[in-house]
Chains A and B, each alone.
Chain A
Amino acid sequence: MDPVFEYERIVTRRTLLSRSARGIGGAALASLLQPELFNGSAQAETTIPAGVKKIAPKAKRIIYLFQSGGPSHVDLFDYKPVLRELHGSNLPDSVKGTQRVTGMTAGQKSFPVVAPFWEMKQCGQHQTWISERLPYTQTIADDITIVKSVHTEAINHDPAITFINTGSQQIGHASLGSWLSYGLGSENENLPAYMVMLSQGTGKNPGQPLFDRLWGSGFLPPSHQGVKLRPGSSPVLYLSNPAGIDRKQRRKLLDDLATLNRGQAEEIGDPEIQARINSYEMAYRMQTSVPGLMDLSGETEQTFEMYGPEARKPGSFAANCLLARRMSERGVRFVQLFHRGWDQHVSIKSQLPNQCQDVDQPSAALVKDLKQRGLLDETLVIWGGEFGRTVYSQGAIGSPSAGRDHHGRCFSIWMAGGGIKQGYEYGKTDDFCYNIVENPVHIRDMNATILHCLGIDHRRLTYPYRGLDAKLTGVEEAHVVKGILS
């Protein structure tokens, strides 16, 4: 490496460090330059704001199994035996309250209570209630915490899914994953810090649309946006060399390119040129690291059995779960799966079993697989959607086409691994799974807790935007949910 050039680079680096911007923004930058800072070396004390260092991270990374559309907490997790007696009765006004409901059921004349369509079973030592539609999830009851009191103000998909993924219903904010990429950087020099995989639901197809902004970087630099991993010959967009150029050729052509660029760097002294050269090297390495990641030929039969038959179908939720484990092994900071199709306005009785079947076995397998590989302690797994569903029927009760509407006042998610209690339930709703009666957990609180597990004080992870020190948790108060921490 050219010594003069190296000098410039260091100068630039110092400049940046000395200017450490507000909050962890500065620390985040510092860590880009010196990843060891986040490993707790003495040097770190002076650079990282006090608030951040106080928390010892439990988790190093996250796998977020996002269930897009709004899974029915009433049918899956939030068991209220009394609903069997109340089935068919109108939801009492005292429970329904005066808050708004969506335009899809606002005009209904009655709001008949519908008992869960399936039985639930008490599972594991903790005797957690879990639906019979999720038999595999039942087997990990002792590994997970189910939070039954998550809530959101949003009542429709676009605002709700934007809210839960970016911490705001308003457009333009940064997604959770991009915050982590920004705040913690990558553990693997050959893979992005934030990777996203999509799958289609069989319960409802197409499901509600997904948007780029859900894994976008919002006001953060665009380099933090989630990188989509897709089945097929180019799993990351533009990864494959064009036909007629092989890898050996590519190597040599990149060497030539580096020679040309380096000459420019010497002449001009712009440190960006070296950064550009490095980007090409990284791109080249990705051309191996990504196919290596996607290559499941080394996975055992036993593993495939564990994740279920769909694991052999590229692009399925099951295949994506298996890939998520492989990414976690490789240190990808944040892996997010989006499974579509959980929006059961109609025909819930026929749709929901299929949705459950898509995800039940692979979700449970992922937790077990991480556990057996000793990775669960350092990986936080989150399973949930943007809201739950109403206890009352959408459409005529008893009709095969009846369903449930959106419900944001309470819904259930589960979490497992890094920093979360095992075999635990948190939060309580009323007999109608309609209102929270104990330990509400707002989306902001969830996000604060997720950051906490990764060793970040949500108040300190900031970025200047429109004059504010913007945070994932926004301007309103947010609290770490201590009750679910191990």
Chain B
Amino acid sequence: MRTLSLRHWLPVLAVGISCLTLFAEEKQPAPAAKSDATVDFSRDIRPILSNNCFFCHGPDEKHREADLRLDTRAGAFESVIVPGNLKESALIERILSDDPDMQMPPAESGKKLKPAEIELLKQWVQQGAAWQEHWAYLKPERAALPEVKQKDWPQNEIDYFVLARLEQAGLKPAKQADKRTLVRRLYLDLLGLPPSKEEVDAFVKSDDPRAYEKLVDRLLATPQYAERMTLKWLDLARYADTNGYSIDGGRHMWLWRDWVIDAFHKNKPYDEFITEQIAGDLLPEATDWQKVATGFNRNHMITHEGGTIPEENLVNYTVDRVKTTSEVFMGLTMGCAQCHDHKYDPITMKDFYQFFAYFNRLDDRGLDGNSGINAGPKLSVKTELSFASEELKSLDTELKRLQAELDHPDEAAMRNWEAATQQQLAERGKNLKLHELEIVKVSDPNTRSDFETSEEGHILALAASGRSPSISLKVKPGTDQLTGLRIVFYPNEKLPEGGIGHGKKESFPGGFILTSLAASGTAIHSDQLDLYSMFNIAKITASQSHPDYPVQDCLDPRDHNGWSPAPHNQSQQHLTATFEKPYETKDSKYITVMLVWGGGEFGGRQALMAGDYQVFGISGIDDGSTIPEAIQTILAVEPAKRDAAQQTALKVYYSQIAPELKNTRYQLSNLQERRKMLTDSFETMVMNTAAKPRETFILDRGQYDQPTVQVSTGVPGFLPGLPEQAPGNRLALAEWLTSRENPLTTRVAVNRFWEMLFGQGIVSTTADFGSQGDPPTHPALLDWLAVEFYEQGWDVKHILRKILLSATYRQSSEGTPELWKEDPQNRLLARGARFRLQAEAIRDATLKVSGLLVERVGGASVNPYQPEGLWREVSHYGSSPATAQVFVQDHGEKLYRRSMYTYWKRTVPPPNMQTFDAPNREVCLVSRARTNTPLQSLVLLNDVQFVEASRNYAERIMKEGGAGIESRIRFAFAEALGRPPEAWEVKTVTEAYQRELKNYQSNDRAAVALLNQGESQRDKSLPTAEAAAWTTVASMIFNTYEFITRG
């Protein structure tokens, strides 16, 4: 057992299967065909030579040993291979030798040929050493369909290639998957969402012989299909919402993401899709939207780290563009040639820097992108997402409805509130006592700040310095409990205008803006705010607040809002923060307060900080109130005596704070923001051409400061050349990439589509079509698809449809024991594919089934739930104008958008996505791994997002699943898994349900606690014990292997 469990941390064994497919086992060829005695150079020999010999005897001239190269026919046949003659072939002699001076590969290389490989090499020489150029660099041609025996199986051309290979290996294809499996498979593959019970039933019950085809067409036409295709593209294009390097501040690139969604939805021909992203700005009369597409090559990481060298950064950016462009479109690892000629593929440094030259001509700067402002070049444009105009109409209706809801708050709830508020107002200031605190230290160690303290305990910052000071305080003897803190601000004649702060005449004269207030309590003194012992602040009040800077805003830690008592800057002011629960100070005497003063948005670089203040502890009840004076006046009037204006004012106020209308308010502000997103212009980064483009040099060892020979634009020499007189710009590059002569672009694209639908590509190394890549399992099929793609006008939906309609795709994924043994990785496709869903699809599926999913397409990223404090513990918060330094969760529908819209902070990616192998998007990633870890189980079991989904699903089960337990279980299975449960499953789940029900019936508090997870409103009309028990059942179903697997 120990062995078994140990595996877990390790990419659990079985995981191994899928993740190895993508990684460690890349070099593993498909099982050899049984009857295939002829050695195939491309499939069998080149990979051995490449992996074992090319490093020293390959394209890299500088490091070539013994002047021997084995990557070209000429080189190999010049001296070491004599076709048909083993004895005369030095290659064979050297690999068979056991003399350490002779033996190849030499011991220090760490390479060792396996007996089977040696055998293959021998056979190959014996059989005449047939040589082929590397398959991927030859133009694909459409092969004739191979002959097959089982003639009734093929549905279309694809199947001939697959079946022929199976028959060669003595295997038979699997039976067609049942209809339920097929419809679920199609939904998950094409939409990244499971079908509902209704959607499954519609397909299963249809007797239309073309039902499958029609379903495919219907799904391909949905916006969800476009989203699903875009998600994949985001990994390739290393899309993120932050800059990545160092401080990792925020950026805005969502318009580019909108462009991608739009392109997939419109089925933009793939050649145009490439061209616009590479060179949209250079197209004749380029539209703004075409320019937005060029953001593809601006998605790379950017830095504004002080002290870094701009020229070096610019080289890094351009290198990233080369790597990404070559990997994404051509499956070439050109990055290797940045510092030296490629070790395996014929890519020279000159090739690299010529390619580099295309992307080195824009008007970008080496230090840029700070303060949440995009780095140039950039455009300000409106989204052209085709769904926008329709959505606008529905938005306006919805906004009206929400406003109406707010206009009519619940009268009874309002009366309760009023009673509670009256009492609160009456109790204001009850037992209030201010407690002086001993100042241990005032510091702002990230700046040159200097603080003084006065005898009275004032903190003096009479010279404006220290943007985010921490004040460390000690509770004095005799105080056992504090209910909160008060900060008093004193006017001081040494401050501008004799005020309370450093504001200059033009803005907040003598005043300040406090953008954030936080405090922590610890047993040991803390110089700095202790991020892990922060008080929750339940209430905050102030003596005065500027209408645009209400005191509540300083509880939002971000810079763009805050509190200011202005214009009351010349009199003493205070704010009072009441803790959620009293702070017991007997054994925990220390308090650290961190203040962040305005600067940033409020007055450029102005230091809008207070200059003379004191922090007190308080006991008792704050004498301030969050209720505005005007409302207090109304409340003082007997209800019956209030006039109409007063009644209205009270209602308006109440609807702004009513707890039961919280989600309505969130929704209103979300939709107002959304409306703006569809109608206003926003900035996005693009490519352009500088007035004086930078010159490009070959850089010795890739170092920015080691230029050697100047080069102009050009494409790798071993591939078909550019047309004569092609201009030296990106448009010419795009044309070259999409020409019929380019052997790579079509193959790489169709291989990726294949991978999306089968879990692995025909070339399993989707990112590397070079010498070290895996040779295709079905080369003729790959070429057929590539040519078809080209000839059908780069029609993505056409090629997907072709694959989806094949018998190969429709096979059942259940394998026989023999097949598991014979071909565990399913390289020969004798069964359908099955693999775990990717991170986003797991979350999205859960949201859809629970009924929470909000299918709004496009727009800016959102911040759904994530554990507290993850950004701040690693960020430059308080010390940088960069945005995205502290996480602030969104509310309302933004919690339930599809995962592709989750805000992607590169240095702290969303943890629940990352746990399921989502990349950090720092660099281009062509294929994700698929691992299996205990941390994934923890996410699905305990993440509030998933628990909340479970309780919402429970409500659906109770409301839509009929009355009986069995009927509800049937509904639960059908809706989530697309099939009815087996009898034993019903039994297992029934028992579980009844056990949990009993449990919650005797523990209502637990039931309510579970049902309170997440911010969505719960249906209080449902019995709590039942709802909680169904929640555990729902969670169990979401945790099944089947739910997170596409089979």
Contact = CB atoms under 8 A, between A and B. Distances in A.
A16 B12 contact: no
Interface stretch (A118-126, A378-386, A407-415, A461-469): A461-469
A219 B333 CA distance: 14
Contacts of A221: 11, 15, 19, 23, 917, 929, 931
A171 interface: yes
Contacts of A347: 445, 448
B447 interface: yes
B671 interface: no
Interface in A358-397: none
A199 to B, nearest CB: 9
A29 B8 CA distance: 12
A265 B11 CA distance: 19
Contact of A286 (B12, B530, B938, B984): B938
Interface in A227-254: 227, 230-232, 234, 236-246, 249-250, 252-253
Contact of B874 (A26, A210, A253): A210
Contacts of A35: 3, 6
A280 B935 CA distance: 9
B308 interface: yes
Contact of B1009 (A211, A238, A244): A244
A216 B867 contact: no
A238 B867 contact: yes
A102 B307 CA distance: 5
Contacts of B10: 31-32, 181, 185-186, 193, 223
Interface in B219-252: 244-248
Nearest to A287: B938
B335 A466 contact: yes
A241 B1012 contact: no
Given A158-B245, A223-B15, A242-B942, A463 B23 contact: yes
Contacts of B935: 227, 236-238, 283
Contact of B938 (A31, A222, A239): A239
B531 A253 contact: no
Interface stretch (B83-91, B519-527, B560-568): B519-527
Contacts of A112: none
Interface in A252-309: 252-253, 256-257, 259-261, 263-265, 267-283, 286, 309
A109 interface: no
Contact of A223 (B51, B933, B938): B933
Contact of A205 (B345, B470, B814, B820): B470
Categorize the interface residue count of chain B.
35 or more
B985 interface: yes
B364 interface: no
B182 interface: no
B333 A466 contact: yes
Interface string B430-466: 0000000000000001111000000000000000000
A8 interface: yes
A469 B933 CA distance: 25
Interface string A323-359: 0000000000000000001000011001100100000
Interface string B995-1008: 11001000000111
Nearest to B705: A100
B301, B824, B937 — most chain A CB neighbours (10 Å): B937
B343 A468 contact: yes
Interface stretch (B207-215, B889-897, B908-916): B908-916
Q: Which of A9, A263, A282, A316 has the most CB of B within 10 A?
A: A282
Interface stretch (A17-25, A40-48, A420-428, A438-446): A17-25
Contact of B873 (A15, A16, A200, A469): A200
A483 interface: no
Contacts of A243: 1006, 1009-1010, 1012-1013
B45 interface: no
B768 interface: yes
Interface in B976-997: 982, 984-985, 988-989, 991-992, 995-996
Contact of B12 (A172, A200, A279): A279
Nearest to A316: B524
A193 B995 CA distance: 37
A312 interface: yes
Nearest to A259: B988
A271 B17 contact: yes
Q: Determine the main DSSP class of B at the interface with A.
A: loop
A260 B938 contact: no
A277 B933 CA distance: 10
A61 interface: no
Nearest to A103: B307
B12 A464 contact: no
B342 to A, nearest CB: 8
B38 interface: no
B6 A185 contact: yes
Nearest to A171: B922
Given A103-B308, A256-B1036, A466 B3 contact: no
Interface stretch (B617-625, B736-744, B875-883): B875-883
Given A158-B245, A286-B938, A278 B110 contact: no
Nearest to A222: B917
Given A49-B112, A312-B523, A260 B988 contact: yes
Interface stretch (B281-289, B415-423, B1037-1045): B1037-1045
A278 B834 CA distance: 19
Interface string B589-610: 0000000000000000000000
Given A238-B912, A273-B1041, A467-B345, A279 B942 contact: no
B5 interface: yes
Contact of A278 (B8, B533, B909, B984): B8
Nearest to A275: B14
Interface in A168-197: 171-172, 181, 185-186, 189, 191-193
Interface string A143-158: 0000000000001111
Given A189-B2, A189-B8, A216 B20 contact: no
B386 interface: no
A222 B1010 contact: no
Contact of B907 (A204, A211, A263): A211
A206 interface: yes
A346 B448 CA distance: 7
B306 A172 contact: no
10 contacts: A198-B873, A203-B445, A205-B446, A206-B876, A221-B23, A221-B917, A223-B931, A230-B869, A261-B1041, A315-B532
Given A32-B7, A212-B908, A253-B996, 8 more contacts: A102-B307, A193-B9, A205-B528, A208-B876, A210-B907, A212-B914, A244-B1013, A467-B770
